[in-house]
């Protein structure tokens, strides 16, 4: 795993602790999981992960739309499901998507602080590739 990817995992683990379920990076061409909890891996075995990531790629269009409609820059999206919360953002000029799931907690999470940390890491690494191995793209868990 690249240093940038390892630091990203560390940031998400620090933010979510044991509630972190999964962490993915993706772009227009591929995807890779950086962290996948065993129980989540088992649940994903019966799903087509590529369709799941393809759906998140629609966020590129949403991001561009928000950038033209609002007076503020788009930052991130959080979705609530019955068993977990899902966070998605984009970093860099390409951009690279970052997607993570967390068990639902009883206390609110400061997703804005997480987004700021991800942006700081992106700046620190100068947009260095988050994919740990470009040949590993489109890899199933």
Query: Does 26 fall in a domain?
Result: yes
Each residue's pLDDT, cut to its tens digit, for the chain (141 residues) gives 788 889 999 999 999 999 999 999 988 888 999 999 999 998 888 888 888 888 888 777 777 777 778 888 888 999 999 989 999 998 887 788 999 999 997 778 999 999 999 999 988 887 666 665 544 445 544
Domain CATH code at residue 113: 3.30.450.30
pLDDT of 18 reads: 94
Query: Does 136 fall in a domain?
Result: no
Query: Does 63 fall in a domain?
Result: yes
Counting the structural domains of the chain, the total is 1
Query: Does 133 fall in a domain?
Result: no
Q: Range of 67's domain?
A: 3-128
DSSP letters along 58-121, please? HHHHHHHHHHHHSSS---EEEEE-SSEEEEEEEETTTTEEEEEEEE--SSPP-HHHHHHHHHHH
Query: Does 124 fall in a domain?
Result: yes
Query: Does 113 fall in a domain?
Result: yes
Query: Does 102 fall in a domain?
Result: yes
């Amino acid at each position: 795993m690249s240093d940038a990817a390892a630091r990203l995992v560390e940031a998400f683990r620090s933010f979510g602790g044991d509630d972190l379920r999964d962490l993915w990076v993706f772009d227009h061409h591929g995807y890779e999981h950086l962290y996948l909890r065993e129980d989540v891996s088992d649940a994903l075995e019966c799903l087509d992960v590529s369709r799941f990531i393809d759906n998140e790629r629609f966020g590129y269009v949403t991001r561009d739309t928000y950038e033209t409609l609002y007076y503020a820059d788009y930052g991130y999206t959080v979705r609530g499901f019955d068993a977990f919360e899902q966070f998605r953002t984009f970093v860099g000029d390409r951009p690279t998507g970052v997607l993570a799931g967390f068990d639902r907690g009883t206390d609110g999470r400061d997703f804005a602080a997480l987004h700021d940390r991800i942006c700081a890491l992106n700046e620190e690494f100068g947009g260095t590739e988050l994919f740990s191995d470009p040949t590993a793209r489109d890899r199933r868990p």
